Amino acid sequence: MDLTFRVNGKNYPLTLAPATRLSDVLRDHLGLIGTKVGCNAGDCGACTVLVEDRQICACMMSAQQAAEKDITTVEGLGGQELLNDLQAAFLRHGAVQCGICTPGMLMAASDLLRRNQTPNRVQVEDALGGVLCRCTGYQKIIEAVMDVTASFSDAATAPSKSVGVSIAKLDGPAKLTGTEIFGADAIPADCLWVKIIRSPFASADIELGDFADIISRTEGLEGILTHKDVPFNRFGIYATGKDQPVLAETCVRYRGDAIVAVVGTREGVVKITLADLLIRLTEKPPVAGIAAAKAPGAAQLHADKPGNLLIEGQVLKSTAREAPQATDITVEGRFETSFVEHAYIEPEAGWAQPVGPHGSRGLEMHVTTQTAAMDRAEIASILQIDAGRVRVLPTACGGGFGGKLDLSVQPVLAVAALRFNKPVACVYERPESMAASTKRHPTEIACKFTARRDGRLVSVDMTAEFNTGAYASWGPTVAERVPVHGSGPYYVPNVHVTGRAYFTNSPPSGAFRGFGVPQAAIAHEAMMDDLAEAIGVDRLDIRLLNAVRCGDETATGQVLQASAGLAECLQKLQPHWTKLTAATSSFNQQNQRGPIRKGVGIGAMWYGIGNTAISNPSTMDVGIGRDGSLVLFNGAVDIGQGSNTILPQICADALGLPVQKFSYIMGDTDLTRDAGKTSASRQTFVSGKAAEIAGTALRGQILRHANAGTGARLDLAGTTLRIVEDGTVREIELSGLASDKDGMVFRAEGRFDPPTMPLDGNGQGVPYATYGFAAQIAEVSVDLDLGTTRVTRILAAHDVGRAINPQQVEGQIHGGIAQGLGMALMEEYIPGKTENLHDYLIPTIGDMPEIDVFIIEDPEPLGPFGAKGVGEPGLVPTAPAIFSAIRNATGVRVTRAPMLPHRLRAAILRQARTSG
């Protein structure tokens, strides 16, 4: 049908099916890719646009209904280059992280601001309540919308230093104008589309039939890939033990396991379902949960893993002179957590194309990922070709949180591109993303903490068992990391922590912000509250008394040399703690007859920065080109956490040129070197150090070239590089010099591998070069009659070594807190039941409290300018602090996450019965 669309003031006549979703009209027919699709169900709001000045989800409006109406998209706000006041406020406040929700947020805010120029916080929350953000914790978004009308001058002179300055994200403007390219945003029109047909059963035997008939009689279906098309049908994180098939062979091991991949036109593949294919599935009783996996006679998921045990790790340390005594106080507990979904707003997406006839020169992959270099190695392994023939060009990543460390669309795209000799694309719908992707490990922890009567910890015993799901994924990492961290951020002379991961017929549990440490922290912090109660000391005081400090030995026998700022974090919070505890108890006394009880709680954490006890280097290149460009060849993927800005900031100060001069190439495996994965809070620390070394080396090169001393000042203007020393100016005309293949005249490399030592059989050694520390206070308000918990305030003190960009550090902490709050109160993934974003709940803008962040800077000498990581630490202490506060409010000791209203209400009733 012929319809005319009036978008951003321009008319577009189109011929298309009138039921087409408006989001598809905008993206596929008009190329306005600033409007994002996160769920196609109105659950996430990423596709929010204005129709006749009102916000609607473009995924739920038909083309017919939108035709002839005034439509405004993000592209219509300021323009391709210009930011309007709202976009500028977002940039100024650091309200953008990954950027995938940003267009939706901007449009929802535009609806509000067209009616109310000076909204209050509640009005902002009401207007933006329909857009989910998984990165920012919403606080900076609220601040930005409330600050649109502020007069602001950007004429201020650029500071001479970059480190320590909250400069705006370098990739912020692209994310704000809708020009940033994410996984699904630049798929060529001539692509074939791939759809993966997945198992509806947790466990089944399968028998593939013959597909020749359906292929020949189905319009738009070009072929069906099976395991036989995959040269090496296994992938997995670790070089040995790859256990996940790209496509199933004789059985499926979880609901969502990939069976075959259908390839054809987009319209052709969308209509094909499992029922259309000749595949015989014989459902089998699944191994559900850890107890079932361990049970004698349990079905074995993998023949080479008896007892369904993937791995066991442990840390064992004893200190004879501080042995337990009969007079010590002992507390014990058992804790349980659920599957948690990453719920990045960008579903998995990408496209691939063969290079040269039938891929004779290899394969090019454009994909949303957290790790370009590892993707390249995995794709090469699956295709059984040399890694040098695979080029991975990571797109912008619309949120990862660990979930995009595993392969998703990459294997089938790689196989299909070579098999069909054409560009191929694959984009997951939300239910597929949730069913197929990895999850946070459900964990069962039993533990026993012992302390002297003065509160000093003597021993910790903990056994943590993990439901690692159908395949190994990052299970080994979790089983190793938790024993190291299980005794908490405290000095404990005697430690025995064991971690075991069991296979079950569930989604693979993988990496998720914290690698098991958030689950362990729920246990160790409840133990600290138990001890405080048993001994009769203040909950903050007992943590301060035991806080691990420089010179102390950790559970693995590592003596901390520097940058152990937990005590300082706790001291920073202490005056607030005193005030809040007094205020809440006075509130509760005055409102004894009402149903509301307030409570405050505290959680502390530590977190090893970088991969555990293995080499995990990063290499950065920086160069100055003939054209005067200053380029960071940056292999680290920015998944929203900010490395695209942080790394140039660090490099700029090492080099001595302003960060504004920098451009970067992110992650392209042909142009950048391996920076390692964006995981384990490692990019600022590891790649940051590499960027510093590279910057220093480039500076040295230039100074030597100019024969100048180390104190000289550099200045880059056009293609002229000036070296100023003691009033003397030397000029280098870059355009006249010889350059390398990338156009660089000067180029230097920096490499850093954090010094660690392998762990011995007792888990003793140096697993990490440095640790992040933090403590958070939560204040909650609990409705005793309904069991509902509202978090009213969070105060977070984090030792980050050095805040390279304080605003971005705050943003990381806010976002971590939002995920911690979700884990504590609402997030529980149940296969087959919560495979969408309305049954699986993540916090909305209205669920977040006001957050105060206190940045503690106890510098790490190994890190760039003293910095270490902060990506994961934000999340770790939040759930423990909230649970501590719920306990303070209600007396209920929380032993299961999430604490859903019905669980808390049941616990309150149980408690009333036993005490009554």
Partner 1 sequence: MGDYCLPQSLTELRAALSDGKAHILAGGTDFYPQRVGQPLPKNIVDITNMSDLKGIRETDDFWHFGAITTWRDILDANLPLLFDGLKTAAREVGGQQVQNAGTIGGNLCNASPAADGVPVFLSLGASVELSTGERTRTINLADFITGNRKTVLRSGEILTAVLVPKTGSPQVKSLFLKLGARKYLVISMVMVAIVVEMDEAGIITTCRIAIGACSEVAMRLDGLEQVITGREKNKDLAALVTADHLAALAPVTDVRASREYRLDAALTLVRRALDTLGRGA
Residues of this chain that interact with partner 1 (CB under 8 A) are 1, 17-21, 39-43, 45, 48, 54-57, 59-62, 64-65, 108, 111, 125-127, 129-132, 267, 270-271, 429-432, 785-788, 825-826, 828, 830, 833-834, 836, 838-839, 841, 843-847, 900-902, 905-906, 909
Report, in Å, the least distance between residue 40 CB and partner 1: 5
- Output the CA angle 365-370-373, nearest 5 degrees: 55
Report, in Å, the least distance between residue 135 CB and partner 1: 17
Give the tokens for residue 415. Answer: 């196989």
Give the tokens for residue 304. Answer: 């080479």
Report, in Å, the least distance between residue 477 CB and partner 1: 29
- Whichever of 41 and 214 has its CB closer to partner 1, that residue is 41
Residue holding tokens 């809040």? 580
- Whichever of 38 and 642 has its CB closer to partner 1, that residue is 38
> Each residue of 572-605: b (16+ CB within 10 Å) or e?
bbbebbeebbeebeebbeeeeeeeebbbbbbbbb
Contact between residue 592 and residue 598 where contact means Cβ atoms under 8 Å apart = no
- Whichever of 743 and 901 has its CB closer to partner 1, that residue is 901
Give the tokens for residue 6. Answer: 């009036």
Report the alpha-carbon distance of residue 375 to residue 355 in Å, rounded: 17
- Whichever of 127 and 797 has its CB closer to partner 1, that residue is 127
Report, in Å, the least distance between residue 487 CB and partner 1: 33
Q: Judging by DSSP bridges, how do beta strands 192-198 and 424-427 pair with one another?
A: parallel
CA 341 from chain centre, in angstroms, equals 11
Report, in Å, the least distance between residue 50 CB and partner 1: 10
Report the alpha-carbon distance of residue 407 to residue 369 in Å, rounded: 8
> 28: Cβ–Cβ under 8 A, 6 or more apart, which residues?
none
> 880: Cβ–Cβ under 8 A, 6 or more apart, which residues?
521, 522, 524, 525, 526, 601, 602, 603, 604, 605
Burial status of residue 285 (CB atoms within 10 A of its CB: 0-12, 13-18, 19 or more): exposed
CB neighbourhood size of 174 (10 A): 16
- Whichever of 124 and 745 has its CB closer to partner 1, that residue is 124
Report, in Å, the least distance between residue 7 CB and partner 1: 18
> Each residue of 214-248: b (16+ CB within 10 Å) or e?
beeebebbbbbbbbebbeebebbbeeebbbbbbbb
- Whichever of 258 and 460 has its CB closer to partner 1, that residue is 258
- Whichever of 127 and 501 has its CB closer to partner 1, that residue is 127
- Whichever of 300 and 836 has its CB closer to partner 1, that residue is 836
Residue 264: φ, ψ to 5°:
175, -155
Report the alpha-carbon distance of residue 293 to residue 291 in Å, rounded: 5
What secondary structure does DSSP assign to 607-659, as a single string? EE-SSSSS---EEEEEEEETTS-EEEEE-S--SSSSHHHHHHHHHHHHHTS-G
Report, in Å, the least distance between residue 826 CB and partner 1: 5
> Each residue of 265-275: b (16+ CB within 10 Å) or e?
ebebbeebeee
- Whichever of 62 and 588 has its CB closer to partner 1, that residue is 62
Report, in Å, the least distance between residue 59 CB and partner 1: 6
> 122: Cβ–Cβ under 8 A, 6 or more apart, which residues?
none
Give the tokens for residue 613. Answer: 């006890």
CA distances from 320 to 323, 324, 325, 451, 858 (A): 5, 9, 11, 15, 32
- Whichever of 61 and 804 has its CB closer to partner 1, that residue is 61
CA distances from 693 to 467, 629, 647, 659, 913 (A): 41, 19, 11, 16, 64
Orientation of helix 878-890 relative to helix 566-590, angle to 10° = 30
Report the alpha-carbon distance of residue 273 to residue 90 in Å, rounded: 42
Report, in Å, the least distance between residue 845 CB and partner 1: 7
- Whichever of 126 and 725 has its CB closer to partner 1, that residue is 126
Report, in Å, the least distance between residue 831 CB and partner 1: 11
Report, in Å, the least distance between residue 46 CB and partner 1: 11
CA dihedral 318, 322, 324, 325 (to 10 degrees): 160
Report, in Å, the least distance between residue 906 CB and partner 1: 7
As a whole number of Å, the CA-based R_g of the chain is: 27
- Whichever of 21 and 868 has its CB closer to partner 1, that residue is 21
- Whichever of 35 and 808 has its CB closer to partner 1, that residue is 35
Report, in Å, the least distance between residue 27 CB and partner 1: 15
Assign 3-class secondary structure to 687-723: HHHHHHHHHHHHHHHHHHHHCCCCCCEEEEECCEEEE
Q: Is 728 helix (H, G, I), strand (E, B) or coil?
A: strand
CA distances from 356 to 230, 309, 410, 413, 417 (A): 20, 45, 19, 16, 12
Contact between residue 510 and residue 545 where contact means Cβ atoms under 8 Å apart = no
Report, in Å, the least distance between residue 20 CB and partner 1: 8
Report, in Å, the least distance between residue 535 CB and partner 1: 35
Sign of torsion, CA 469 475 480 483?
A: negative
- Whichever of 51 and 181 has its CB closer to partner 1, that residue is 51
Report, in Å, the least distance between residue 827 CB and partner 1: 10
Report, in Å, the least distance between residue 786 CB and partner 1: 6
- Whichever of 25 and 721 has its CB closer to partner 1, that residue is 25
- Whichever of 41 and 446 has its CB closer to partner 1, that residue is 41
Give the tokens for residue 581. Answer: 């505890």
Report, in Å, the least distance between residue 85 CB and partner 1: 21
- Whichever of 171 and 429 has its CB closer to partner 1, that residue is 429
- Whichever of 571 and 788 has its CB closer to partner 1, that residue is 788
Torsion-angle region of residue 558: left (phi > 0), alpha (psi -120 to 50) or beta? beta
